[in-house]
Structure 1
Amino acid sequence: MTSGSGGGDGLEAQFDQWRRYVERRKELRQPDVEELEDHLRGSVDELVDAGLRADEAFLVAVKRMGSLDELSREFAREHSERLWKQLVLTGGTDDQAEGATSRHDLLVAVGCAVGAAVSVKAPELFGLTPEADGAFYGTNAALFALPWLAAFLAWRRGASKAVVGALVALFALGAVAANAYPLADESQSVVLTAIHLPIALWFAVGLAYASDDLRSPRRRMDFVRFTGELFVYYVLIALGGGVLVGFLFGTFQAIGVSPEHVVAEWVLPCGAAAAVVVAGWLVEAKQSVVENIAPVLTRLFTPLFTVALLAFLVTFGLTRGGIDVEREALILFDLLLVVVLGLLLYSISARDPLAPPGLFDRLQLALVVSALAIDVLVLLAITGRISEYGTTPNKAAALGENAILLANLAWSAWLLLGLVRRRGPFTALERWQTGYLPVYAGWAWVVVLVFPPLFDHL
């Protein structure tokens, strides 16, 4: 590497911090990191010679290099042969230590996937079956797979003992919440717990994911990207599993044997739980080697959802009809708003922070404003029904969720408006979204822990 650029110990400390950040990306080998640092130091030298102070030169040089994801894509183009070899399970690189790490990751992931599969069948040792104890399996579904995914991520990140202790406490609390309250199968709280406990525990998975840099907003945004990509991988695994099940039925029935019992009792439940861990491992193993899917998904679905929401608002205005606030409708509207929020988060995770505002940013503003208007209509309908007929667990949960979404969407719209008008930085929007994530986790825990005893008669 070149010798350090002028500026003394303070500049070298900045280089050290930058190097540690880059070295966290496993797809970049040490020679790659050194090459990037050489380029950065050369840019700083040029800017210092041009008259900038050392700290100013460092900041400008880093901004010129762009985000780390862009650098990773650049390396994927320049070193495609070596990076494609990293897609092979055995590693395939010249760096034996890196290959060993990949194999260790795979072995740990396989062990955690087996643990998730075994967890699904463990309740049967105590006489609990899906047919007779549907409520138990519904409320505990997240506890079969998510602890194992969190364990894999915590191991891979080298989580501290404090983080591991917090993870154990959160999953233990989830187990208590799912099983401590004697709820009838038809209770509304059973459904609410089955919906909200996975959300609450998913943020525990996020704690394991970000355990190597808990205070970093960018790390939280990486978890948003991880969530979306895991979902895509999981769907692909499920489609492949469907083909496998089809072959199982066809081949076994051809010899007069029906595999229906084995498939229903073993293959499907165990495979569904294990696939959560496998999908997580795939996202981690392929991180930044192939093109990130976030830009593709957001640019495809943002215009479609914007048109759909605007069409709904226009139709609502023309028909002047009310909004049905029964449970299925509430879930549908909440899912719609969550999808809009997911599109916003995904686009933020994929956007170049230094890029000027463009047409896509204006389209996102239209999407958020449309969702905000629908959220207001739903809130008005819910409060009207509560004041007229009283509250239920479903309506109370929907009221809280829509109020939380309203606050997020309202401030997001304001920040997007500032970005589009060039009166506010993109980083403000990113910090707002990553800082707001714990609010969702907090509300999910409130629904799981407080609602069952509060509405035990419903």
Structure 2
Amino acid sequence: MTAPDSPVELESQFAQWRRYVQRRRELAQPDADELEDHLRGSVDALVAAGLSTDEAFLVAVKRMGSLDELSREFAREHSERLWKQLVLTGSGTVDARSRRDLRALVLCAVGAAVSVRVPELFGVSLEHDGAFYGPNVGVLVLPWLAGFLAWRRQVRRPLLGVLVALFMLGAVAANVYPLAETSQSVVLTSIHLPIALWLVVGLAYAGDEWCSPRRRMDFIRFTGEWFVYFVLLALGGGVLIAFTAGTFKAIGIDPEVFLAQWLLPCGAAAGVVVAAWLVEAKQNVVENIAPVLTRLFTPLFTAVLLAFLVAVVWTSSGIDVEREALILFDLLLVVVLGLLLYSISARDPLAPAGPFDRLQLALVVSALAIDVLVLLEITGRITEFGTTPNKAAALGENILLLANLAWSAWLLLGLARRRTPFAALERWQTGYLPVYAAWAWIVVLAFPPLFGHV
């Protein structure tokens, strides 16, 4: 057995501290090396003064101060890094890897843009055939995103075969059933198939480490950062479309058909891949936006949910569980889950429980209470009027959210009371992702025949 004060044990402590430091992307590698040299010097001095290596390490880390403060200090001293990250390269030269990435980006972005127009060759109109494009949009675009990420990760052939098979399964599920345009299953497939295929993209992102909770959490972070970049691209694209429409109309040319049927759909499809490339290449620039928004909106959503629960008790009103209301409540619960996920993704795992953790507990408990009310209403309507695809899907989704939120509340309570480690909450959330994927595939594959393609 290794002695507590052995050099091996000390190096293990340094390695753990180094991994912790590297989570802070405000600190470049030279900064981390500088901090480690300073820490090692402090430990050596304390050991020479008579402390044990364990004591010396703890005292030196304590003297170094808060890593948050150190990160902010380095960010202030090296603020020019932010601007250098906003361009392709900092030196004006492009290395071989960057050129390969750009070529792969262009290929996949063009492939995604072209894919949304290919059905036109077979008589399918983007303008009139929403029943086709709704279920198939993920099948047309997301394989290119997965391909780009798989290429960057250099995934092995077995996993590549799995990715191809899952996307082919999605294509079959979107097109094999004889569904009318007014079918509820068209809407359900349009919602659930992109979710299922996005988690297939997660397989490409994580590569051979999908079973690792750390890599799953990385994919959750990637999703938030991708969303931020995609929204920014969409805002820029909206300005481009507005200027294009205005300038061409000024000379008597109406570009509406080109904008609506070509620029907008092709640009949006290409933007899905470009946003992922931006996350991969420039994630240090805006990677903290999602956690910052989480900090801002968590108290606001908590107040709204608590006010809603008070109103329900005060008025004794039931909840409308028609389709639009079901979608609204499910989106609300998903937003709550997103707030929880992104606060977890940015939280210092070694930090003690604080007021924000208790605020999150209140948010999750409020959402849990609303979920119970919705489930009671759905169950009552199904018992009284029978089931429909929409109600069955909502019932299953709310049961899944109920299980997730209930155990999350229990873990947050343990965290707030300092009886449960933060890692348990992180493992629970990342481990639950396959459950959502499985349910999405069930809705896509089993619901249409189960409900007679209604």
Q: Give, in whole Å, the separation in 2 of the partners of 1:47 and 1:180.
A: 71
Amino acid at match of 2:217: M
Match of 1:3 in 2: none
Q: Does 1:178 align with 2:178?
A: no
Q: Does 1:433 align with 2:429?
A: yes
Amino acid at match of 1:92: G
Q: 1:72 to 1:359 in 2, by over 3 A?
A: closer
Partner residue of 1:333 out of 312, 329, 335: 329
Partner residue of 1:236 out of 232, 239, 242: 232
What are the superposed Cα offsets for residues 309-364 of structure 1, whole Å, 9 maximum, x if unpaired? 11111111111111111111111110000000000001111111122222111111
Q: 1:61 to 1:112 in 2, by over 3 A?
A: farther
The equivalences for 1:387-406 within 5 A come to: 387-406=383-402
Q: Identity rate of aligned residues, in percent?
A: 74
Amino acid at match of 2:450: L
Q: Give, in whole Å, the separation in 2 of the partners of 1:160 and 1:73.
A: 39
Report how far residue 172 of structure 1 moved: 1.0
Match of 2:80 in 1: 81
Partner residue of 1:302 out of 295, 298, 302: 298
Match of 2:417 in 1: 421
Report how far residue 297 of structure 1 moved: 0.4
Conserved 8 A contact 2:336-2:364: yes
Q: Give, in whole Å, the separation in 2 of the partners of 1:72 and 1:177.
A: 48
Q: Give, in whole Å, the separation in 2 of the partners of 1:35 and 1:425.
A: 30
Match of 1:269 in 2: 265
Deviates more, 1:376-385 or 1:149-158: 149-158
What are the superposed Cα offsets for residues 369-395 of structure 1, whole Å, 9 maximum, x if unpaired? 000000000000111111111111111
Match of 2:354 in 1: 358
Report how far residue 38 of structure 1 moved: 3.9
Report how far residue 163 of structure 1 moved: 2.1
TM-score, with structure 1 as normaliser: 0.88
Conserved 8 A contact 2:150-2:205: yes
Q: Give, in whole Å, the separation in 1 of the partners of 2:430 and 2:126.
A: 38
Match of 2:158 in 1: 162
Amino acid at match of 2:319: I
Q: Give, in whole Å, the separation in 2 of the partners of 1:264 and 1:93.
A: 39
What are the superposed Cα offsets for residues 132-176 of structure 1, whole Å, 9 maximum, x if unpaired? 422111110112221111111122222222222221111111111
Match of 1:346 in 2: 342
Q: Give, in whole Å, the separation in 2 of the partners of 1:47 and 1:428.
A: 35
Q: 1:318 to 1:228 in 2, by over 3 A?
A: same
Q: Give, in whole Å, the separation in 1 of the partners of 2:46 and 2:215.
A: 30
Report how far residue 21 of structure 1 moved: 9.9
Q: Does 1:113 align with 2:109?
A: yes
Amino acid at match of 1:86: Q
Report how far residue 197 of structure 1 moved: 0.2
Conserved 8 A contact 2:225-2:287: no
Conserved 8 A contact 2:228-2:290: no
Give the 3-state SS of the residue equivalent to 2:116 in structure 1: helix
TM-score, with structure 2 as normaliser: 0.88
What are the superposed Cα offsets for residues 68-87 of structure 1, whole Å, 9 maximum, x if unpaired? x9987765444433453232
Deviates more, 1:28-37 or 1:114-123: 28-37
Q: Give, in whole Å, the separation in 2 of the partners of 1:236 and 1:121.
A: 24
Report how far residue 216 of structure 1 moved: 2.7
Give the 3-state SS of the residue equivalent to 1:210 in structure 2: helix
Amino acid at match of 1:155: W
The equivalences for 1:193-208 within 5 A come to: 193-208=189-204
Deviates more, 1:122-131 or 1:39-48: 39-48
Q: 1:181 to 1:7 in 2, by over 3 A?
A: farther
Q: 1:19 to 1:211 in 2, by over 3 A?
A: farther
Q: 1:417 to 1:153 in 2, by over 3 A?
A: same
Partner residue of 2:217 out of 221, 225, 246: 221
Q: Over aligned residues, Cα RMSD in angstroms?
A: 3.2
Partner residue of 2:139 out of 127, 139, 143: 143
Match of 1:126 in 2: 122
Conserved 8 A contact 1:27-1:287: no
Report how far residue 219 of structure 1 moved: 2.0
Amino acid at match of 1:170: L
Q: 1:414 to 1:232 in 2, by over 3 A?
A: same
What are the superposed Cα offsets for residues 29-56 of structure 1, whole Å, 9 maximum, x if unpaired? 76566546545655775787732469x9
Report how far residue 457 of structure 1 moved: 4.4
Deviates more, 1:15-24 or 1:39-48: 15-24
Q: 1:398 to 1:71 in 2, by over 3 A?
A: farther
Conserved 8 A contact 2:225-2:283: no
Conserved 8 A contact 2:178-2:453: no
Q: Give, in whole Å, the separation in 1 of the partners of 2:376 and 2:402.
A: 12
Conserved 8 A contact 2:10-2:54: no
Conserved 8 A contact 2:84-2:90: yes
Conserved 8 A contact 1:86-1:93: no
Q: Give, in whole Å, the separation in 2 of the partners of 1:9 and 1:383.
A: 60
Match of 2:310 in 1: 314
Q: 1:23 to 1:414 in 2, by over 3 A?
A: closer
Q: Which runs of 5+ in 1 are unaligned?
A: 1-5
Q: Give, in whole Å, the separation in 2 of the partners of 1:259 and 1:10.
A: 69
Conserved 8 A contact 2:126-2:261: no
Amino acid at match of 1:142: G
Match of 1:153 in 2: 149
Deviates more, 1:292-301 or 1:197-206: 292-301
Q: Give, in whole Å, the separation in 2 of the partners of 1:77 and 1:210.
A: 33
Q: 1:126 to 1:235 in 2, by over 3 A?
A: same
Q: Give, in whole Å, the separation in 2 of the partners of 1:347 and 1:362.
A: 13
Conserved 8 A contact 2:177-2:453: no
Amino acid at match of 1:241: G
Q: Which runs of 5+ in 2 are unaligned?
A: none
